[in-house]
Amino acid sequence: MTSPTQRGKGTGKTAVPQLAPTTLAFLVDLKKHNERAWFAANRKRYEAARADFILLVDALIAGIAHCDPRLLELDPADCIFRINHDTRFSHHKEPYKVHFGAFITDRGRKVDRAGYYFHLEPGACMVAGGLYMPPAPELNAIRRAILADAPGLRAVLGQKKFVAAFGKELPGVKLKTAPRDVPKDHPDVDLLRLKSYEVGCELPDRRVLAANFVKTATDYFVTMHPYVAWLNRALDRAR
């Protein structure tokens, strides 16, 4: 996949993709007709929408790579989740998801790693980042890092741009009380109780369809980058 910066090479300008309204329209129709026969009849629409989404994710990778150049090695198609639902162990029995999602990390999508997430769904679009509901080894690594360096994490969470974008408190799922072996009156119990370490911001469809959306999303991702980096350093120290 050619990166957006390469696409603009030779023209004197950087080509920045803009999401096509037809991509959202396809997802609207898919939600109304979440059936295999309808999907088969509309496969060309799906393929066009997916290709449009891939171009957008490619541009987001290029934007975030200003903070982490390693991301430029990623193939945007490898960052995108399959649209098929795995109905075997899910209460969702519809065959297809009604959104496109992409998870961008410095080691690909299929890792327990902090990263950047973009969710494209009519009426429920979102940019997010961090570490969502990590397995026990990664969760314990984050808690150990908090015990060792809570001031460092709080400094990241307290940055003015971060608070303006994502609020003063992390919104992740929490334990009802302190984790085992942590006193209930520990000064950092608010951080240690978390079971999920993510931040995010919902965006109206009009902003996602706007010509400057890549910059809008990239600004959010750059703002959360120090948080993502802190989490990944915690994971790396545990390995």
Reading the chain (239 residues) residue by residue, the pLDDT tens digits are 444 434 333 334 556 899 999 999 999 999 999 999 999 999 999 999 999 999 999 999 999 999 989 898 899 999 999 999 876 666 777 899 999 999 999 877 777 899 999 999 999 999 999 999 999 999 999 999 999 999 999 999 999 999 999 999 999 999 999 999 899 999 999 999 999 999 999 999 999 999 999 999 999 999 999 999 999 999 998 87
Beta bridge partners of 80: 102
Cβ atoms within 10 A of the Cβ of 128, count?
22
Q: What is the pTM of this model?
A: 0.90
Residue 198 makes CB contacts below 8 A (sequence gap 6+) with 117, 128, 129, 130, 131, 132, 170, 171, 172
What was the pLDDT predicted at 239?
A: 75
Domain ranges of the chain: 4-237
| pLDDT for the residue 8 | 35
Which candidate, 15, 20, 16, 85, places its Cα nearest to that of 47? Answer: 20
Residue 109 main-chain phi, psi, to 5 deg: -85, -35
User: What pLDDT, on a 0 to 100 scale, did the predictor assign at position 14?
Assistant: 57
* Cβ(67)–Cβ(225) below 8 Å: yes
Q: Which residues pair with 129 in a beta bridge?
A: 116, 199
Element (H, E) at 69: none
Q: Tally DSSP H helices, then E strands, for the chain.
A: 9, 4
State the DSSP code for 179. P
Separation of alpha carbons 102 and 221, rounded Å: 13
Which of 119, 87, 101, 98 shows the shortest CA–CA distance to 31? 98
Confidence (pLDDT) at 238: 81
